[in-house]
Chains A and B, each alone.
Chain A
Amino acid sequence: MNLPLEHTALAVVGAGPAGLCAAVEAARSGVPVVVLDENERAGGQLFKQVHRFFGSRRHGAGKRGYEIADDLIAECLRAGVDIRLGSSVIAFFPEGELMVDGPGGVYLVRPQAVVIATGASEKTIAFPGWTLPGIMGAGAAQTLVNVHGVLPGKRVLIAGAGNVGLIVSYQLLQAGADVVGIVEASHGVSGYEVHLDRVRREGVPIYPGHRIISARGRDGLEAVVVKDLRGGRTVLFEADSLCMAVGMSPMAELAAMRGCRMVFREELGGFLPWHDEKMRAGLQGVYVAGDAAGVEEASVAMEEGRMSGISAAEEMGSMKKRQAAARRAAVSRRLADLRRGPYGEARMAAKCSLYCA
């Protein structure tokens, strides 16, 4: 196998908010940056999101996801970042090379530093019938509705009352589907109250403490059987689609392949590459950022991306130590602000358990 080999300073894997911010930060300090993303559009999760974003103003809150993405892409292009789309990174070898499956074929990239900003993947749960057509991840449902303008079904049941489940429910309503309910195995709603209020006032019933037992149907989904864990009653929802929004977990296979140590943190979505406060993943020239380093939110992903970009630029000698330290301090402050409140504190504690360990 003799593949073309390319050298570069910084390679960023993933053009979501984390990757784009990492790229901007490094490129502005003079580092040549290549961003690789397997999608045909840059922006990661953002370009699928048609709702107005939470977060702080400086992270584009109040704008819709795809608008935030467009702004970040423009910033990258102004800073001279080389964004390559349709380019899957299929391996990150322990020797430090990336293998890329791009539009022109497969090639190798040998960068001085790599930021892994590959985002998160959806968790699934299995039950009898879970492979029936009509059952899909919330992400797939979103792609159908928001990108292709197709409804996953007419009567949709949602599994999971976290922010993703609530947002996707709303988007399905917007597109004209009936959402027959949101079932949630735990006893509370983990999503924000404002998101919950939005779907409730559209008449969507919420069923906390309800677990899916099985899915039924001949050629496709027809009904979902659900057990009420408190009342003990078993009920059946007639639905032609079931969207699973049961959580996301960091997608960091590349870091694992490279040899990074994987740790488990429930609050951050599961297994993730260990990293320090500077977003260094414990190996020379390897950084992680965004959901790949623990599932949080877009504004956090952006700040972590900036952090990794600053650290990489410093270690490559393009940014002075003092300047880097000052910029990192500002990012740390903003991250601490974002990780306050009843939702942020647990994530803050989980992150801290990494740095302190």
Chain B
Amino acid sequence: MGESGDIDEIWRRAEGGAVAILDCREEIPCDPCEAVCARGAIVVGKNVCDLPRYDPGLCNGCGRCVAICPGMAIYLLDRSSRDGGARLTLPYEMKEEIKAGDEVWALDEDGSPLGKGKVVKTAKMNKRDHSLLVTVDVPEEWALKVRGVRIRVMSIGEPLEVRGCQREEDHLLCRCEEISRSQAREYAAMGFNSLRALRRFSRVGLGYCQGRFCQAMLVDEFSTAAFRDREGVGVFKVRPPVRPVKLGRLGGENG
């Protein structure tokens, strides 16, 4: 049996009513599903990074784990209806409203629409936000394929291919003092190999942002150009104020 339960057993149990399916495959620090399951069907254990171990035999299909999982990695499968279809309960957090009776797109794991399904019920996950548990009827063949529902499917198209050679253009690294990448490389070629040394020579890092935006990029540029590790290139000496402040306020004014 896998950590997330035996899929054949889940399939069989779903004939008797809703049962959870967990799609959580990575060891990440996460465990709220364990606490919320009153039946003890999900166990993460002492180490939060362990995979949840799920026993479908204990699940009663209450759906609380579906509502709490931050990864939206749990859903319910119910195959008890006599007309042979599958009834799925999935988390839904989009802005477009979904209500019982709606026809919605059923999407697979890549977001490709499998076709339409009919919403039989929705339930609010909690009082404070708009997220829903949506229960939708779909053909049995899709039972293990559907991962989400949507009213509107994005039509974004493919990116366009650009032909011809793209020559490398120069651009700014430091916006405040207008220092370009080619200039930074020139400085490195002149022998400057630390940010502090450079700041004594140019005004880089002394502009409005005090180096907050450009520092990391300059460190990268210098360590590449001067073959020096980043700690060697170092950071600017930090001078007050670390936040822009009106000079008058330093004199005690309040405005």
Contacts and interface: CB of A to CB of B under 8 A. Distances in A.
Contacts of B31: 56-57, 61
Interface SS of chain A: mixed
A9 to B, nearest CB: 23
8 nearest CB pairs, A to B:
A194-B71, A203-B111, A62-B32, A91-B240, A90-B241, A341-B27, A341-B49, A52-B70
B93 interface: yes
B254 A128 contact: no
Contacts of B129: 50, 64
B235 interface: yes
Interface in B10-66: 23-32, 34-36, 46-49
Contacts of B100: none
A299 interface: yes
B107 A126 contact: no
Contacts of B48: 55-56, 337-338, 340
B104 interface: no
A181 B154 CA distance: 11
A201 interface: yes
A64 B32 CA distance: 12
A226 interface: yes
A48 interface: no
Interface of A: 1-3, 38, 50-57, 61-62, 64, 67, 88-91, 93, 99, 101, 104-106, 121, 123-131, 155, 173-176, 178-181, 192-195, 197-198, 200-205, 213-214, 225-227, 233-238, 249, 253-254, 256-257, 262-264, 270-271, 297, 299, 337-338, 340-344
A354 B48 CA distance: 24
B172 interface: yes
B154 A178 contact: yes
Contacts of B239: 257
Given A64-B129, A128-B169, A235-B161, A90 B245 contact: yes
Contacts of A254: 238, 242
Given A106-B252, A128-B170, A51 B70 contact: yes
A50 B126 CA distance: 13
A89 to B, nearest CB: 8
15 contacts: A38-B243, A90-B241, A104-B254, A105-B252, A179-B156, A197-B72, A201-B108, A201-B110, A214-B169, A237-B159, A256-B235, A271-B235, A340-B47, A341-B26, A341-B27
Interface stretch (B115-123, B134-142, B210-218): B210-218
Contact of B95 (A126, A176, A226, A271): A176
B72 A198 contact: yes
Contact of A342 (B27, B35, B73): B27
A227 B31 CA distance: 39
B250 A1 contact: yes
B94 interface: yes
A13 B213 CA distance: 21
Given A270-B230, A341-B49, 5 more contacts: A1-B251, A88-B245, A91-B242, A299-B29, A342-B26
Interface string B152-184: 011111011110001001111101000001000
A83 to B, nearest CB: 19
B87 interface: no
B30 A256 contact: no
B36 A62 contact: yes
